[in-house]
Structure formats: structure tokens, C-alpha cells
A and B are shown apart, each in its own frame.
Chain A
């Protein structure tokens, strides 16, 4: 089994490499001059040229890439073009904020989807299944940001229960209750955003599982549908769900970009969108590399988890 993990790592690492090269390439060909971050308009052409040479911007591509990659691995992620802040320090603040939002939302959606999906799948074509299926079909077709707008209007403007923006009211950063007030709407919106697709997946998985032979065998031994669901089918359905968890790793950073922007939640999403709008390439580049790496690591994690949990793979030595 360790061999399997090792093999997968061997495939993943070059992929990450390629991602970094592509990221660097994209920004390299972008219509911007990195020297602009280091010069002021008052400098003469010669001074600018000198700065360029000094910063290594006239070196061939692979040299520049090499330097950048080395810096990347050492944790030197550059500075924002607009605010001059250290990107790594920025992310140290923003990533936890995003995680505070995404983690609870995803887990809630995951948990709920298992319950709803199992109920729907085990009652295939009955009333409750039709309802759950219909709602999740509509949910998949519904843009999360639209739902956010609806929620904002009803709960923010109309009923004035929840605040619309940000993570804290200024001055109340330590207050948990204040945080919860701000947290509620984006949390609900995000959960509803994740939910429909997960429900649909669990439901279809449950329906296929019930068609398996062992279900008939269990019936012939006197098991009730509920017992079959709880003792056998649910396990078989949840096993592949583990891979979904692995693939949700990148979500912890980039899973809520639109939602964060709408609610002005101080997380990676808002940070990133601001960078896009202000053409802050260094930030964009880092987030690009980060998200690509997380996706690949997430897939790897999913594979490993699967390996650990499925007895069919675990035990065949």
C-alpha cells in the first residue's frame, strides 16, 4: 500500500511542477512590467533599466523561473503591487478567515447531504424522493450569488436581522456573538451552494447501491429496508464520499470566492478578487499556484484515504 502512495506522489509532484511553470508563464506573458513595482515615475529611463537589470528582469525565462520557484519554496511569496504588503503575511490572515467560513459550511452540507441523499435513494420514486430530487435539481440550477442576493434582501434589508458585510463589527472583534451574527448569512448561503450537488451524488449512489445483489440476499434473510440501509448500503455509499472530502481541500482556500465578495468577508476570495480588479499580478500568481497545488494534493489525499478505508484495497497484499 505504501508503494501505491509513493507511486501516486511520483505522479503528483511533476504535475505540481508543471502547474508552477504554467503559472509563471501566464504571468510572464501578461501585459505588465514587474519593474513597475519597484520604480517611481520620477526615475529616468536609465535608472529604470538599471533597476530592471538589478532585479534580474532581463534574465532568460528559465533563470527568472528558477529564482521565483526557489523563492516560492522558501516562503518568499512577493509583495502586493498596490499595497506593498507581504503576500505571505496577508494570506496568513486571510486564509484562516476563509477556512472559518468554508469548513463549517462544507461539513454541514456534507452531513446533510448524506442524510437527505440516503433518505431519497432508499425511497426511490416515492413522494419524499421526488421532493428531494426536485429541490436539488433546482438547487443545482441556482446561482449561489443569486441566492445570496435574495438572502441579503430578506434578512438584511427587509427584516434587518443580520448584518450584510464583513466578519466583525468594528470594535467587536473579540465578540463571538458578533462574529456569529456576521457569519450566519454567508454560512447559510455557502451551505446551500454546496448542498444540491452533494445530495444528488449521494442519492444516485444510494439508488445504484440498492440494485446490488447483496441487497436481495439481505432481504431473503429477513432484513428490513431500514436495516439494510443502515447496516449495509450506507457504508457502501459513504466510502466513495471520502474522495469528495479529499477533493474539497482546495475549497478551503478558493471555495467561496464569489460569496466572500458579496458579503465583503475578509478572506482569500475578497483578497483575490481585489487583486484581479487592480491587476495585482504577484498576488494572482501566488493564488494560482496555491490553488493548483491544493487540487493536486487534494486528489492525492482522496486516493490515500480511499486506500486506507476500503478493505478490498487495504488487504490485498
Chain B
């Protein structure tokens, strides 16, 4: 059954213009991020004689306040933003899935405890949580990934828990439990594959959210640190030079928008496949 869904999915992506463009854009960005490593260009190559140059044939995106080629800075920045996005997503997905399945499957005290944790973590606005934690731990790329992951697992946990609760009632799960199968094995072999569509949908949204969060954090100065740059930190430096080098602010912002939009579009498409479609019209007798 999965193979048939997959073929439908591939067909739908090709027909659905929005999803197709999104997918192509993301492939382009990822390709650029990876392939730039093979080129001999240094994103930190300072050239004071050419500061804040407007975009030209030589420098397609112009140069920044230290004369560094902006195109290269932006591509490297994209690499960082995407990496943080994906890794932070993985962190939150793993935490969220483990929490959700445990809460849903075991129920009782474990469920209560985990749900209280969800409430507590959800109780403080993310920006406060994130800024406070950044005070306590060393700044850097891994810190951000951890921080973002630690404060975005709650929604996934809720979703997974709800799915698990429904699945627990299914006959094949109850039977497996009845014949004494190890609960971990049940969770790994039966429940996780069944909640996988939900997780995948949540994952695309999680990447989009993580990229937004990272950009905001870097913009505020508590994200990636110089000389490493992400789109968010590029925007921070752009702010100081706003009147002289407007392009510095425009470009990373547009890329953030396009990337997040693309992930969201793909996420919507996946969600349409993950959720069972209600049959329109026929069901009215």
C-alpha cells in the first residue's frame, strides 16, 4: 500500500506547480550549499578596498562591510542556516517522538509527567526561554541546535501522543500486547511506522520553524557567532549598514522567505497524503 501512495505522491508533485517549484528551489539551495565546498572561495576573505560595493558583474551580490564577496557569504550562510534547521528538527523530532510515544503508550503516571513537562516547556514564550538559556550555555552552532531542539519538541509530542493513543486501540496492537510482545518492540515495529506520516509532516514544519528561530536568534546576536555566518546574522550586520548597502538586508531575507515557504509547501503536500482523505460527495448517501 505504501508503494502505491508513493507513486501517487510522485505524480502529484509533478502536477502540483507550487510543490514542484518548492522542491526544485530546495534542491537548488542544498546543491549550492554542498557544492560551494568544492570551490576555492573563502567567505572570510576580507578586502578593505572594496567595502560595501553594490552588486555588479564581478560581485553578483555585492560586498559586505569588510569587502567580502556577498554571494559567497550568502551561500555559506545558507549552509549554516539549513544545517541548523535540519539538525534542530532532528533533535526536536527525536525528543518529541520518544516523549509522545511513551506518554501515549504507557499512559498513567508517565503520561501525566510528560504532559506536565509539555505544559511547563510551553508556558514560557520561546524567545524568553531561548534568550535565557543562551545566557547559561556557551554560544555556538551546537548550542543553538540544542536550544532550538529543546524548545520545539512539545507540539510533536502532542501529535505523536494523540496518534499513539488511537493506535493503542487497534486490534493488531492489542493482539501483539496480548501475546506478550516486548513493549519496546511493539513501539519500534508497529507504532513508529504508523505514526511516521505524522512525524514526516511535522518534520517539514519543524525545519521551517527552526530556520526562523535560528535567524531570529542570530539576528539578536545570540545565535551563530562571527566569523561563521547564517542568514540571520548576515541580517544583523546588514542592519548597521542599512542606508548604504540596502541589498545586504534584502537578499538573505528573501532567501529565508523562499526556503521556509518551500518547506511549508512540501509539508502541506505531505500532510494531504498522510491524512486519510474524506471521500467527497459520495458519503451523502
User: Are A and B in contact, CB atoms below 8 Å, in the complex?
Assistant: yes
Residues of A within 8 A of B (CB): 15, 18-19, 22, 26, 29-31, 137-138, 140-143, 145-146, 149-150, 152-153, 157, 250, 254, 257-258, 261-262, 272-273, 276-277, 279, 281, 284, 287-288, 291-292, 295-296
Contact with A along B94-131 (1 / 0, CB 8 A): 00000000000000000000000001101111011001
Task: Check A149/B239 contact, CB under 8 A, given A26-B132, A254-B127, A276-B135.
Answer: yes
Given the contacts A26-B132, A143-B256, A153 and B246 also touching, CB distance less than 8 Å: yes
Beta-carbon contacts of B223-242 to A below 8 Å, as 1s and 0s? 00000000010010011001
Q: How far apart are the CA atoms of A256 and B238 in the complex, in Å?
A: 21
- Closest Cβ of chain B to A255, distance in Å, is 8
Partner of A287 from B128, B212, B256 at Cβ < 8 Å:
B128
Which label, helix, strand, loop or mixed, suits the secondary structure of the B interface? helix
Asked if A288 meets B239 with Cβ closer than 8 Å, knowing A26-B136, A146-B253, the reply is no
Contacts A15-B120, A143-B219, A295-B124 hold; do A149 and B135 have CB atoms under 8 A apart? Answer: no
**Which residues from A are CB-within-8-Å of B232?**
143
Cross-chain contact B131 with A258 (CB below 8 angstroms): no
Q: List 26 A-B contacts (CB under 8 A).
A: A15-B123, A26-B132, A142-B253, A143-B215, A143-B219, A143-B253, A143-B256, A145-B216, A145-B219, A146-B235, A149-B235, A149-B238, A153-B243, A153-B246, A157-B242, A250-B125, A258-B219, A258-B220, A272-B128, A273-B131, A276-B131, A276-B135, A284-B132, A284-B135, A292-B123, A295-B122
User: Which of chain B's residues has its CB closest to A149's CB?
Assistant: B249
Provide the bound-state CA to CA distance between A91 and B124, in Å: 19
Cα–Cα distance between A279 and B135 once the two chains are bound (Å): 7
**Quick one: which of B232-267 are within 8 Å of A by CB?**
232, 235, 238-239, 242-243, 246, 249-250, 252-253, 256-261, 264-265
What is the interface of chain B, defined by CB distance below 8 A to chain A?
A: 119-120, 122-125, 127-128, 131-132, 134-136, 208, 212, 215-216, 219-222, 232, 235, 238-239, 242-243, 246, 249-250, 252-253, 256-261, 264-265
Pair B249/A137 contact, Cβ less than 8 Å = no
